[in-house]
Structure formats: structure tokens, C-alpha cells
Amino acid sequence: MSITCEQLIQRHEQSWQQAIIHPFLKECQSGKIKPQQFNTWLIQDYLFVVEFTRFQAKVLANAPVEHFDLILAGLGAIKDELNWFQQKAAERELNLNTPKQQTCQAYCQYLEQLSNMSYPIQAMALWAIELAYNQAWQQPGEMVAPYHEFAQRWGNPDFTEYVKLLEKQADEVLADTDQEMDQHIASAFIKIANLEKDFWQMAYQGNS
């Protein structure tokens, strides 16, 4: 038995669609999102990316040597992304030293769990998390200012290509999995999709 990234999306299409299509994104596209809601998301996403950086470093520690280049490139890019988040927060006069909301905390805790799982699951998770942003910020269509900058960051062609390469690497290691491992992989994929959906919704649940 083996499974591919594409098959995961096909078999769990409803969960995946909920992860990448949300009113938050549509309201960014139209400009109707309330600044407080967007700021709530921005702060919490920064806090998530800090922990995602740690997760990506742990994926590197478990990866085969031939996967190093792409993961290292991702780590280099994520440092730039953290700096960019800090710049955006400063422009909006936001305090990034803010406690994680429950949804963000749950996602970060799941990243910790993933850090202790086998490399095939980690490779799939890295791809799925990045793909969720890549597709979510593309699917509403062109966004109005100032949100078009955010859509461009995760929806640009270079990031799309990076995600495709992550998929290729994940498929390489998924090709050798057995039925039991495939079940764990599917469960992790669904968990990530559900957490992504909840993360968008979190913008409506708290103050910035």
C-alpha cells in the first residue's frame, strides 16, 4: 500500500475545501474584513509561524540528505517571513508579545506532536500546511489593498513551485508506506485541514 498527496486531497475533498475556502479570505478579497479581525489573525499567524519554524527544523533533522536543499531553502524563506510579519505588525502598531489563542495553541501543540512522528508523516504535513496557504490565498481571486500583499506572498508563482517540490518529496517517501502508516498519514492530513479551517475562524473570536 502507498498513498500520494494528490490522493489525500481527492479522498478528503470536503475537509480540504473547508481548509482553503473561508469567509475570512473572501472578506479580505472584497475589503470587507474588519481591521480588528485581520489584526487578530495577523498576530496569531505570526505566533504560529514561530512554532512552524521549529517544526520545519525538526523535519530537516529527520530528512534524507537528498531532501536537505529544499527544506533549507524553506527555512531561509521563513526567516524573511518572520521579519515581514514583524514589519507588518509595526505598521499596524500591533503587539506581537500576545498570548496564543486557544485555536493557535492547539495547532502549535499539534506541530509538537508531528515533530515526534515518522518522516513520511512530517513530509506530508510540511507540504499540506504550505499548500493550504498557497491555495487559500489564491482561490478568492485578486484582493484589494492592503490585503493583496498577503495574497501575493503566499499565492505567487515561486511559492506555488516550492509547494509542488514539497509534494514531490513527500510522494517519494509516501511510496514506501504500508497500510497502517497510510492510515496515520490520512489522519494527520485531516487534522491539519481541520486546524486550518479553525485558524481562519479564529479571526472572528478574539480581540487583537
pLDDT 10s digits, 109-149: 999 999 999 999 999 999 999 999 999 999 888 999 999 99
pLDDT band per the 50, 70, 90 thresholds, residue 97: very high
The residue-averaged pLDDT of 23-51 equals 97
Q: What is the pLDDT of residue 206?
A: 60
pLDDT, mean of residues 168-174: 98
Joined together, the cell numbers standing for residue 114 give: 508531528
- Work out the average pLDDT over 202-208: 75
Indicate whether 171 belongs to any domain.
yes
If pLDDT is split at 50, 70 and 90, which confidence band does 27 have? Answer: very high
Confirm whether 25 is domain-assigned: yes
Whether 10 is covered by a domain: the verdict is yes
Q: What share of the chain is helix, strand, coil (3-state, %, to 5)?
A: 80, 0, 20
- Residue 188 resides in a domain: yes
Question: Which pLDDT does position 208 carry in this prediction?
Answer: 43
Is residue 1 pLDDT above 80, yes or no? no
**Model pLDDT, residue 171:** 98
Q: What global pTM score does this model have?
A: 0.96
Residue 163 lies in a domain: yes
Which CATH number covers residue 196?
Answer: 1.20.910.10
Give the domain extent around 194: 5-202
58 pLDDT more than 90: yes
Average pLDDT over residues 42-55: 98
Do 127 and 6 contact (CB within 8 A), yes or no? Answer: no
What is the pLDDT averaged over residues 186-198?
98
Cis ω on the peptide bond leading into residue 23 (within 30° of 0)?
Answer: no
Residue 81 falls within a domain, yes or no? yes
State mean pLDDT over 163-190. 96
Sequence letter at residue 50: V
Average pLDDT of the residues of the chain:
96
Asked if 80 and 87 count as a contact pair (C-beta separation under 8 A), the reply is no
| Residue at 207 is within a domain | no
- Cα 15 to Cα 125: distance, rounded to the nearest angstrom: 15
User: Once rounded to an integer, what is the mean pLDDT over residues 174-194?
Assistant: 96
Mean pLDDT (whole number) for 91-107: 97
- Give the per-residue pLDDT at 140: 87
- Structurally, the chain folds into a number of domains equal to 1
| Residue 30 located in a structural domain | yes
